[in-house]
Amino acid sequence: MARARTDFLGHVYSGDLRGGFRRSILHHSCTSTDAFGKTTTSSEVAMKTKKRKPYWKMNSQELADATKEYDSPSREPQFLKAPRTQKARHDKAMKAALRGRPRIGEGARRIQLTMERGLLNRADAYARKLGITRAQLVARSVETVLAKAG
């Protein structure tokens, strides 16, 4: 918690401020600088942050004036740059999404196969015994038949 020493009247001196749990509520009394190094005074900040009416309380003319910048079809939306940590997480997720199933040979293609239930149960049991999937068992079987056929 931010604490400061006070005198007997309760005055807080800026040199006595110490950041802590709620340090974000402490502000410097000097004028701030923007991204370009320009200083802004409190009156400029007040003009930039002029409070406007909510859209649902505006009449049609006020609403048209407030939203006229969105009327142009060539208007491009302005996006902010993502913070470094968020960008790193996004890049990692995208890399994982592109990874997918590893390609074997010319790649895989899904097929629908109809098989008698008893034969399918025996094939599944044999695949479990070998520690492979049903698809791998079918692929091995087809490879064996094709190898024998020449």
Q: pLDDT tens-digit profile of 107-128?
A: 788 899 999 999 999 999 999 9
Max Cα separation, the chain?
102
| Cα gap 46→49, rounded to integer Å | 5
Instruction: Enumerate residues 6+ apart whose C-beta is below 8 A from 31.
Output: 39, 40, 41, 42
> In this predicted model, which residue has the larger pLDDT, 9 or 139?
139
> In this predicted model, which residue has the larger pLDDT, 3 or 67?
67
Residue 110: phi and psi, rounded to 5, are -80, 135
Contact present, 29 and 41 (Cβ < 8 Å) = no
**pTM recorded for the entire structure:** 0.35
135 — pLDDT class (breaks 50, 70, 90) = very high
> In this predicted model, which residue has the larger pLDDT, 134 or 108?
134
* Residue 1 confidence (pLDDT) above 50: no
| Cα gap 150→144, rounded to integer Å | 10
Residue with tokens 């000097």: 30
3-class SS at 58? Answer: coil
- Which pLDDT score, from 0 to 100, does residue 71 have? 84
- Which pLDDT score, from 0 to 100, does residue 76 have? 79
- Length of the chain, please? 150
pLDDT digits (tens, 9 = 90+) for 11-70: 665 555 555 555 555 555 555 555 555 665 555 555 556 677 888 999 999 999 888 888
> In this predicted model, which residue has the larger pLDDT, 142 or 106?
142
